[in-house]
């Protein structure tokens, strides 16, 4: 039994709710929302007879899944899977990573903390370099350029004379070919700082889906490439990041997230390998794609690839990426302390639970759903199943592991072993990020087939099926002009693909074949995805905690 902070009390039974024969099944259709525009709405354009029929015949509503509704700074900020699963799992809205860092930078608290002082004093004493590695955009999902600039400004104020920046190109949470929109102004920014005698430069880079930012152990080869690029300075040389992007685009025709790695060199030598005595900050605030590169820097018994050499550095993450494992050892800003999650309440109440997805989203229905905790609350009451993801481009297998996940969930429903099942279908998000419209149509079509299979299993078992999402993505596959709403086209007249998440609402559909009239069939409107926790608890027949965001259903006395 988990014995951490925030121990909870057993949930009270609702005497007015009739228990169902089967489990409550919460399906997170990752990246599936209601599009604002018909053109480019890959969900709307897909063949989805099951979802369409359920929407037409079942209680349903729309939930907010971005911005303030999930703890982000403003409603201009797109939601993401991490904060989305946090909100769904804990039933409330917490101030999340981006906002925490912005506030810490503004107040100066970040710079007064011990970790920052250790990093700065280390390079001043050794005469080494301060390195920044991270996602190079303002997408505000993994990182933000303003945070990077804020750290660089303060480092200069405190006398750091040599900085090297290792750029992971985005093209996923921002425009697919927007890299130079960030690189060119940043180079000008560094040039302005360098006029005062410091030496600040971009040292390396590459697409985020090629190097460094793997997650859940899906492809350690990405991290190995990143290690060689950033740390060893081993790779193809270019004179500048601008040159690298232009040449690699022409050669590969790849979008930013898929560009090969590059190293900036001068006189035949890399300008910024990581050496003994240096300090390194991984400036992403989101944890899933930060854990593996952190392990490469920190673990003595690291065995995932040959590091060739491991420099003796002071390493820190922007935030603590795993609170249970205490990773990294040093971090600049503490993460939100998320307590009293739905999973913890259900365990205390004796509710058996299954969490399942494939590798790409397994951590979301476990770690993030449980308030950024790796361990289970109960070994006896909780089961986790991870279906290994394919290591191929998602557009080549747009159905991903949806059928295999469905097989396991149907087996679990029929077993009678579980009261609550939560699962994530990654298709709408991971394939949506590729920007390939035809692949999205296939992905959403596969998802619909799987929902149809679950529906039949729910009918047989007398279960309740809740269909929702953590954020939108496949519902907004084309770039649109912000003023006119018209589709933005490329030189050849075809629509410019959008690879980022959307700001659109997501569905909440309740299929309850044994419905006994306990609640109003018209669901509440204007709520966020944090309301799913109380909804699940009520449909399990219990009374939600008083401070949880309200359920979408209105129970009758």
Nearest-angstrom CA–CA distance, 48 and 236: 46
- Maximum Cα–Cα distance across the chain: 79
Whole-Å CA distances, 97 to 204, 261, 365: 25, 27, 19
Residue pair 383/308 in contact (Cβ under 8 Å)? The answer is no
In this structure, the number of other CB atoms found within 10 A of the CB of residue 7 comes to 12
Residue in 46, 57, 74, 81 annotated catalytic? 81
DSSP H or E segment with residue 222? helix 220-226
Taking the C-alpha atoms of residue 538 and residue 518, their distance in angstroms, rounded to an integer, is: 10
What ranges make up the beta strands (E) of 103-256?
130-135, 162-169, 199-207, 237-238
Strands 162-169 and 506-511: unpaired
What is the sign, positive or negative, of the torsion defined by CA atoms of 421, 87, 546, 336? Answer: positive
Helix (H, G, I), strand (E, B) or coil at 98: helix
Measure the CA–CA gap between 56 and 479, rounded to whole angstroms.
Answer: 29
Asked, as a colleague might, if the bond just before 26 is cis with ω within 30 of 0, I would say: no
Question: For residue 29, what are the CA distances in angstroms to 54, 167, 314?
Answer: 14, 31, 40
133 phi, psi to nearest 5 deg: -120, 135
Identify whether 415 is a catalytic site residue: no
Strand partners, 487: 480
Q: Is the dihedral of CA 473, 474, 475, 477 positive or negative?
A: positive
Query: Which residues belong to the active site?
Result: 81
């Amino acid at each position: 039994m988990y014995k951490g902070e925030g121990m909870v009390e057993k949930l009270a039974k609702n005497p007015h709710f009739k228990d169902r024969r089967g489990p409550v099944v919460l399906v997170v259709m990752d990246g599936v929302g209601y599009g604002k525009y018909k053109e480019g709405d890959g969900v709307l354009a897909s063949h989805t007879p099951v979802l369409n029929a359920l929407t037409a015949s079942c209680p349903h509503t729309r939930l907010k899944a971005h911005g303030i509704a999930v703890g982000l700074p403003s409603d201009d900020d797109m939601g993401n899977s991490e904060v989305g699963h946090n909100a769904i799992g804990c039933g409330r809205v917490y101030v999340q990573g981006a906002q925490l860092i912005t506030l810490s930078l503004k107040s100066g608290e970040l710079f007064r903390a011990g970790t920052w002082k250790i990093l700065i004093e280390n390079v001043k004493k050794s005469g080494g370099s301060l390195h920044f590695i991270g996602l190079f955009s303002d997408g505000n999902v993994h990182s933000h350029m303003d945070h990077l600039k804020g750290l660089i400004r303060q480092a200069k104020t405190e006398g750091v004379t040599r900085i090297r920046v290792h750029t992971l190109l985005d093209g996923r949470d921002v425009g697919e070919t927007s890299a130079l929109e960030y690189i060119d102004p940043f180079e000008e920014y560094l040039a302005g700082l360098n006029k005062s005698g410091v030496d600040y430069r971009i040292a390396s880079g590459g697409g985020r889906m090629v190097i460094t930012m793997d997650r859940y152990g899906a492809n350690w080869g990405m991290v190995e490439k990143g290690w060689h690029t950033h740390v060893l300075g081993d790779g193809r040389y270019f004179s500048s990041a601008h040159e690298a992007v232009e040449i690699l685009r022409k050669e590969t025709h790849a979008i930013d997230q898929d560009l090969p790695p590059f190293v900036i060199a001068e006189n035949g030598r890399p300008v910024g390998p990581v050496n003994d005595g240096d300090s390194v900050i991984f400036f992403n605030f989101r944890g899933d794609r930060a854990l593996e590169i952190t392990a490469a820097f920190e673990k003595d018994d690291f065995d995932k690839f040959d590091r060739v050499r491991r420099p003796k550095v002071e390493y820190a993450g922007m935030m603590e990426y795993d609170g249970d494992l205490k990773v990294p050892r040093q971090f600049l800003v503490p993460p939100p302390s998320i307590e009293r999650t739905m999973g913890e309440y259900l365990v205390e109440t004796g509710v058996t639970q299954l969490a399942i997805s494939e590798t790409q989203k397994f951590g979301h229905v476990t770690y993030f759903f449980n308030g950024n905790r790796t361990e289970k609350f109960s070994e006896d009451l909780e089961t986790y199943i991870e279906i290994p993801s394919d290591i191929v481009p998602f557009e080549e297998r747009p159905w991903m592991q949806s059928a295999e996940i469905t097989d396991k969930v149907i087996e679990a429903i029929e077993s009678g072993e579980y009261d609550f099942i939560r699962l994530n279908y990654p298709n709408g998000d991971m394939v949506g990020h590729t920007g390939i419209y035809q692949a999205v149509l296939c992905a959403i079509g596969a998802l619909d087939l799987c929902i149809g299979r679950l529906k039949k299993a729910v009918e047989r078992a007398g279960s309740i099926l809740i269909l929702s999402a953590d954020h939108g993505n496949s519902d907004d596959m084309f770039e649109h002009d912000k003023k006119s709403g018209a589709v933005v086209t490329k030189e050849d007249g075809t629509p410019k693909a959008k690879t980022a998440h959307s700001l659109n609402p997501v569905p909440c559909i309740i299929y309850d074949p044994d419905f006994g009239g306990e609640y109003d069939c018209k669901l509440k409107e204007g709520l966020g995805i944090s309301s799913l926790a109380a909804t699940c608890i009520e449909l399990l027949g219990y009374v939600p905690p008083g401070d949880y965001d309200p359920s979408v259903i209105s129970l009758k006395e």
